[in-house]
Structure 1
Amino acid sequence: MDKFDQAILSILQSDCTRPIAEIADNIGLGSTACWRRVQKLEEQGMIRGRVALLDAGQLNVAVTVFAAIRTNQHNAQWLEQFHDLIATLPEVVECYRMAGDTDYMLRIVVPDIAGYDAVYKRLIQLSGITDISSSFAMEQIKSTTRLPLTYAG
């Protein structure tokens, strides 16, 4: 990845609706060369998609809950059941398998406590979950989809 690719990615991370011609002008490339680079970055999987970032408050899902899940099941069958359950819960916007005391960490967005309780009740239906510890975000200090490009090779 050279400086042009990094510049393209930096611009697209900020605003993926910018026209190729404008991006090309900003970084000192011709439009065709810039378009080819974007296509290559997409083919390589470096650009996985282009999305609109929505306002959670205006969509009535402004309550963010972090749920730390512990399980006594560490086998392929349980993991598949867990993945299947998580896939059915649109309120779960992120899910990570963790190292350490917590097995899974979920980021959940809901309108209120009752909304979280409904998600919680769905989660505890899966046998093998031994603990769910929930923390409610009081304030969002930083939220970005921008990845640091300084480490890209």
Structure 2
Amino acid sequence: MIDKISADMVELDRFDLAILEILQRDNKTPQRSIAEVVGLSAPAVQRRIKRMEETGTIAANVAVIEPSHVRHEITVFVEVEMHSEFGATHDATKKSFAEAPEVQQCYYVTGEVDFILIVVVRTMGDYEAMTRRLFFANRNVKRFRSFVAMDRVKVGLNIALDPQRDRS
């Protein structure tokens, strides 16, 4: 397996950006269809996609699940403030947040709090159990604050790309 290349070493041209734009909308789009849209051959598209996967530009190919269809209807945004941001305890906290199945996203941030978590759970009981496990049991967690989403207005991970811009 090829090691991931740092972001500053990855050169993406307008074809790569156009391919990424299509794959962000639907990564099951046939390569021949992508080739027609971007003006390349299907084998060239295949090589570019493979390169972008190997370099880590394409981080994963996943199915995005509608939470309510699997009874995970509660989304909670959680701000977490730590006593200390340094040392093994902090690293262990990061790891526990990253490994928690309820935590959909975790960001280590600047400002008044240290982490912002996006949590998806079935019930408030599940959320309470998670808070006991991740926050109350962790002596380095100073406090946390929860915001329950009332509606999922827009959810996505797409990055706004400009395929027309020449990057070469």
**Alpha-carbon deviation of 1:144?**
1.4
**3-state SS of paired residue (1:57):** helix
The answer on whether the counterparts of 2:90 and 2:140 sit within 8 Å (CA) in structure 1 is no
Q: Secondary structure at the match of 1:21?
A: helix
CA RMSD of aligned residues (A): 1.6
Deviation track 1:118-152 (CA, whole Å, cap 9, x = no partner) reads 11111210102111101100111111121111398
Distance 1:46 1:84 in 2: 23
Partner of 1:58 in structure 2?
Answer: 69
Residue 67 of structure 1 aligns to a residue whose secondary structure is strand
Identical residues among aligned pairs (%): 31
Residue 111 (structure 1) aligns with: 122
Q: Which runs of 4+ in 1 moved over 6 A?
A: none
CA distance in 2, matches of 1:138, 1:59: 18
Long gaps (5+) in structure 2: 1-11
* 2:9 alignment partner in structure 1: none
State the TM-score, normalized to the length of structure 2.
0.85
Q: Given the alignment of the two structures, is residue 141 of structure 1 paired with residue 153 of structure 2, yes or no? A: yes
Of the candidates 124, 138, 141, which is equivalent to residue 129 of structure 1?
Answer: 141
Alpha-carbon distance in 1 for matches of 2:87, 2:161: 35
Q: Which residue of 2 aligns with 1:46?
A: 57
Where does structure 1 lack aligned partners over 5 or more consecutive residues?
Answer: none
The separation in 2 between residues aligned to 1:27 and 1:85, in whole angstroms, is 42
Deviations 1:65-84 (Å, cap 9, x if unpaired)? 01111111222211222023
